[in-house]
Structure 1
Amino acid sequence: MSEAAPRYQFGDVSQILEAVVAADGTAGHGYASGAHVSFGPNATLTLADLADMAYYLCLLHGRHPGVIDHAATRSADNAARSWLVQATDAFARERAYLTQVTVAVGPAPSTAGQSDCETVVSQQRHALDMLAQSDRRGCAMGAAMALVLDWRAVRHMLDIAAIRVGLEPHACDLPDRAETLAVAQAIGGDDTIDRAILFGGRQLLNQHRGLWDVLQARAQVRARKDR
């Protein structure tokens, strides 16, 4: 459980979800922090690291249908419909951008344990599919909202990779933080649904952190090999 969540345990579900993303999301992971300084001669992540990131991120989120697409077929909440339409359309464009960046930066670098890593990420993808197709009301929406909230940090890393190979990043049209949290507040309020929303959100973030753990370990293996 995130350390930030208890601060909002008596607040509404949108506050808790925001706190969980802040504490356990991509932006707080060491791999993402390294991406923030990946320009110039002292870049923390090499182009090979960024190619690795794009390749495995494409394995996780590059296929259709994805988390948001599944959530759109599961949600019966009228308050979420317009958000889901916008998020589904926008993430289709994000998926295309992810594919474009993955092709531009080149193949994932050869690294010891390659097949094991691909198996791990494939299992993560399967876990996300199951999560986003859950019949537990609120679970799929929690995963979808956490993805949209966390994607800003993911997108920052993609943009760095794009710029490194001369691509111009395009605007991200996903619903913004305020819109997403407003939907969480609108569909929440019931303890059972709130718990499901937070479960879905936390599980999505766990899979993201698992991906960054894999990529960080792979980068360390390559760095040791190059010494």
Structure 2
Amino acid sequence: MKPETARTAGLSGASGTLVALVAADGSATHPYLTRLSSGIAPLRDLGDLVHQICLLHARHPDLFEQAAAHSRQPAAAEWLAQSAQGFAAERAYLVRLVAAAGPLPSTPGQAASEAAVTAQRHALDMLAQSDRNGCADGTAIALALDWPAIRAVLDILAGRVGVDPIENQLPPAFETATVIDVLAGSMSVERAMAFGAQQMLAQHRGLIDLLEARASARGKY
């Protein structure tokens, strides 16, 4: 068991609920991401992933910055500031990987793919800017907890294209779990956090579904 897993395995309450949600519905459980993590995935498929993730997340303001501006939870302020700073480094890493991976692989239906990612980005913007108390926080928390699964594939790509991986700059899961329990002071806030988290995870899984469909359109993977 990884150290991070060991430190979060016994969680209960709101943190246990959100960590379990990510474990059940997060990117790591998607079969296509598992294929990309195998170490034998075609370079074009890994390159496609980094291009699409870059379109979704490597922008300013990013999801953490938007959540920090719209959160109504003072207890989340320090965690969101730390996460925003860390994700700025992650965005820079994404840009380096896109440059090293080369052009977006030619794929049938490119215009429809771009429209789908634009719609996902809009959905994440709405979640991160929600006025519902706890929704923006839950959205950001889910991204932080789900990011390591995506980051693992990015690091595989880095090794294939000669880019030195950097350490994941987001707060560790056990710190995030502590923040979750502090924030979940009422059932309404806890429900809003869970809603934001569920919707963020759905967008990631939708993106991976799109990547799988694009790989299939290019030929068998």
Identity %: 49
Q: Residues of 2 paired with 1:139 and 1:149: CA distance?
A: 15
Deviation of 1:78 after TM superposition, in Å, equals 2.6
* Structure-1 residue corresponding to 2:123: 127
Q: TM-score, structure 2 length as denominator? A: 0.92
Q: Residues of 1 paired with 2:16 and 2:51: CA distance?
A: 33
Which consecutive unaligned segments of at least 5 residues does structure 1 have?
1-10
Q: Does 1:87 align with 2:76?
A: no
Q: Residues of 2 paired with 1:165 and 1:222: CA distance?
A: 21
Letter aligned with residue 113 of structure 2: C
Q: Residues of 2 paired with 1:59 and 1:121: CA distance?
A: 7
* Structure-2 residue corresponding to 1:73: 69
1:107 is paired with a residue whose SS is coil
Letter aligned with residue 163 of structure 2: L
Which consecutive unaligned segments of at least 5 residues does structure 2 have?
1-11
Letter aligned with residue 209 of structure 1: R
* Structure-2 residue corresponding to 1:136: 132
Q: Does 1:220 align with 2:221?
A: no
Q: Show the 5 A alignment for 1:34-45.
A: 34-38=35-39, 43=40, 45=41
Deviation of 1:22 after TM superposition, in Å, equals 0.3
* Structure-1 residue corresponding to 2:33: 32
Letter aligned with residue 34 of structure 2: S
Runs of 4 or more off by more than 6 Å in structure 1?
Answer: none
Q: Residues of 2 paired with 1:31 and 1:201: CA distance?
A: 21
* Structure-2 residue corresponding to 1:20: 21
Q: Residues of 1 paired with 2:88 and 2:94: CA distance?
A: 10
Deviation of 1:68 after TM superposition, in Å, equals 0.6
2:167 is paired with a residue whose SS is coil
Tell me if structure 2 keeps the 8 A contact 1:137–1:193: yes
Letter aligned with residue 146 of structure 2: D
* Structure-2 residue corresponding to 1:55: 51
Tell me if structure 2 keeps the 8 A contact 1:12–1:189: no
